[in-house]
Structure 1
Amino acid sequence: MIIDLRGNPGGTTDAYQKLLPYISGKSIRNTRAEFLATQTYIENLETYKKSLDKNTSTDGIDKQIKKLKENLGKFVTFTDTGKPVYIENVELATKSPRQIIILADKATGSSAEYFLFIAKQSKKVKLLGRPSYGALDYGNAYLVDFGCPGYQVFMPTYRAMRLPDYPIDNIGIQPDVYLDYSVEDWVEFALHYVED
């Protein structure tokens, strides 16, 4: 199987969940995040809460807002353990490819990068291409009006708890096989790589 993520700037981690039983091992080591408790983030969560359907439960958001208000100016986690890693067990598909090649480049970012991060944990996955964009250490950015017309600022609300040990921002996820500029057809290269 060849998965081409070149030019994928990300979006949501929900997009690749159905692929995990085909590419993963029995478990995935995910890194948690810690959130900076600021008044701006609290206001953004309260605005989001108001946008939800009236029948939607807001218990989880209410707990988050309460914890943020109690810890203004500090980093907090929204888990009971506070541990930087959690293990996700994956129910493997009965039939799946023996080898998976993922193509990635400098334009592969955000949640597409997190897919690379977890996919590389599988013994049957090889990442070919170039280092990814490098935007995975800080996330969940909100547009913040800071009173300067004509300018916008996106402020991240969390940082990954793998920091400072394993930074990815401005570095990217490194490929297993680097494809230099002499490789014109990456898919053809990947097919030959699998067949060798």
Structure 2
Amino acid sequence: MYSKIFREIVDIMHHDYAGILDKKGWDHPKDYERKIKRLEREKALNPTLFTEIVNDYLLDFKDPHIYFKLKATETNKEYDTGFTVRRFENRLYVTAVTKEERLNVGDEIISLDYIPIDILINKHRRELVEEDAEREDWREILKKYYQCEVRKKDGTIISLELKKYEKAPYTPTYKIEKYNETTLLLTFTDFDDPDAIIKLLNNHEEELTKYENWIIDIRTNHGGSDVAFHPLVPYLFPEGEKKIDLSEKYAMTFNCTENNYERLKALFTKEMETIEDERAKQSIQNYLDQFEKNKGKGFVELFPNEPEVFEGKSFPKQVVVLIDRFCGSSGEIFADVCKLSDKVTLIGRPTYGMNGYANLTCAEWKDLFELYYPTSRLNSMDEGKTLLDVAVHPDVYIPWTPEHLEKDIDLLEAEKQFTKTEK
């Protein structure tokens, strides 16, 4: 079973994936196929190990929009280490704790299996991809180790056996709250549910048109659909008729294979059953109709790059948008829209840079495995851009340091921006 599924994955990456033109020859499937066949003969392969092998193979494509996973069921659980880290110099600082109660935010991990962090950086450069410490993602790497040395805040060093905890289900945050007398704080951890976002805006319509300042926090934003953030856009621009034109940066073609159409159709049909907003439904249907008309034609420009015209609003007067490396996909497009407005300032660190290859679809096997991969490619990828090149960069760059764990430096800088303008 596993060898057959792996061959099908390779076929998708060589024919249906949007990066086939740029990344031909990057991968080495024969090495992985031999390993899988050997493990099958030895009866040593299970779904979890197979998932790890496939994801290691997919690293060759250097694309964070590709991932292979076990479908979450009662028997197939997702696990993690119960905490997250971020590197600063030669330390991994604990940035959040979910289930690992032996650690606290701010603790320093100085080694894994007694290997110092500076050596681990080189050992795992392929997985880390990024060159800058603040842009690295250590989540999968932590799961490869059994022990860590930790320097606690009082200076003591302890040794901990790393455990695996059942991963808590993700719950999105869509929130509007009063920050101070003149400022609202809006938080969106994804743009995946247009109905929920429209409901939130409707429930807070009075505040949205009363407060002079907004802070929009998308430092962690898992993406979703551009349709979901459309209701926010008029608030971001000054009063009067406005025009958004991102056609040059986001000019793209879609790999319109028969397989991609069939997978998108299955994905969107299921998605539209849960969406109430008619505009969102129509947008998805238009997308699917264009794909159907062009299926089998290879790379096609499906949508004309026409500017969007709308009426801006008088309130808020100023907007600060907080961004970070953990803002990806449609969160980045939202940040790019914000870049076009004179009343918006972006603060933080460059976004993920995931949109070179985007518009994901999903292949499934035996109700057990899922492969998510992009179907569209930015024309600008001809220039050999990196993730950082494609990322949205802040107007005010604030490097990440452990001080962020003591106080929200980005929010404090937002306050300064409002004070500057008021003066």
State the TM bucket, normalised to the shorter chain.
Answer: 0.7 to 0.9
Is residue 27 from structure 1 mapped to residue 243 from structure 2 by the alignment?
yes
1:165 positional shift: 5.7
Q: Give the 3 Å change call, closer, same or farther, for CA 66–11 of structure 1 in structure 2.
A: closer
Aligned residue in 1 for 2:329: 110
Displacement of 1:191 after TM fit?
0.5
Structure 1 residue 144, shift from structure 2 partner: 2.1
- List runs of 5+ in structure 2 lacking aligned partners: 1-213, 274-280
- Partner SS, residue 415 of structure 2: helix
Q: What is the CA distance between 1:24 and its match in structure 2?
A: 2.7
Corresponding position: 1:17 with 2:230: yes
SS of structure 2 residue aligned to 1:91: strand
Residue aligning to 1:5: 218
| C-alpha deviation, 1:45, in angstroms | 3.8
Instruction: Give the TM-score, by structure 2 length.
Output: 0.39
Counterpart in the other structure of 1:153: 371
Where in structure 2 are the equivalents of 1:113-132 lying within 5 Å? 113-132=332-351
Change beyond 3 A, Cα 1:76–1:127: same
| Structure 1 residue aligned with 2:417 | 193
Q: Secondary structure at the match of 1:143?
A: strand
AA matched with 1:90: F
Q: 3-state DSSP class of the match of 1:8?
A: coil
**Alpha-carbon distance between aligned partners in 2 of 1:29 and 1:7, rounded to the nearest angstrom:** 25
Letter in 1 for 2:308: E
Determine the structure 2 residue equivalent to 1:87. Answer: 307
The structure-2 alpha-carbon separation of the partners of 1:98 and 1:163, relative to structure 1 and needing over 3 Å to count, comes to farther
Distance, in Å, in 1 between the alignment partners of 2:269 and 2:321 is 40
Structure 1 residue corresponding to 2:360, chosen from 132, 141, 145: 141
Summarize the Cα distance change of 1:178–1:60 in structure 2 as closer, same or farther, 3 Å threshold.
closer
Alignment gaps of 5+ in structure 1? none
The one-character-per-residue Cα deviations of 1:20-76 (angstroms, maximum 9, x if unpaired) are: 1111361111334311022211221443576577xx99787455323223x1xx211
Q: When the two structures are aligned, how many residues end up with a matched partner?
A: 185
Report what 2:170 is aligned to: none
| Secondary structure at the counterpart of residue 316 of structure 2 | coil
Could you say which structure has the greater relative contact order, defined with CA pairs below 8 angstroms and 6 or more residues apart?
A: 1
What CA RMSD, in Å, does the superposition of the two structures yield over aligned residues? 3.0
TM superposition shift of 1:157: 0.9
Is residue 349–residue 397 contact of structure 2 (8 Å, CA) maintained in 1? yes
Q: Distance in 1 between matches of 2:263 and 2:385?
A: 27
Distance 2:220 2:286 in 1: 37
Quote the Cα distance in structure 2 between the aligned partners of 1:15 and 1:9: 13
Question: Distance in 2 between the 1:10 and 1:146 partners?
Answer: 25
Q: Percent identity?
A: 29
What residue in structure 2 maps to residue 66 of structure 1? Answer: 293
SS at match of 2:245: strand
Is 1:78 matched up with 2:298?
A: no
- The structural deviation recorded for 1:122 is 0.8
Structure 1 residues 122 and 38: alpha-carbon distance in aligned structure 2, compared to 1, 3 A threshold: same
Which deviates the most, 18-27 or 167-176?
167-176
Question: Would the alpha carbon gap of residues 101 and 44 (structure 1) be closer, same or farther in structure 2, given more than 3 Å must change?
Answer: same
Following the alignment from structure 2 to structure 1, what is the Cα–Cα distance between the partners of residues 218 and 301?
30
Change (3 A) 1:140 1:19: same
Partners of 1:96 and 1:189 lie apart in 2 by 21
Structure 1 residue aligned with 2:4: none
Asked which structure has the greater CA Rg, the reply is: 2
Shift of residue 78, structure 1, vs aligned partner: 2.1
Distance 1:132 1:23 in 2: 19
Q: Which deviates more from structure 2 when the two are superposed, residues 113-122 or residues 163-172?
A: 163-172
Separation in structure 2 between the aligned mates of residue 62 and residue 126 of structure 1, nearest angstrom: 37
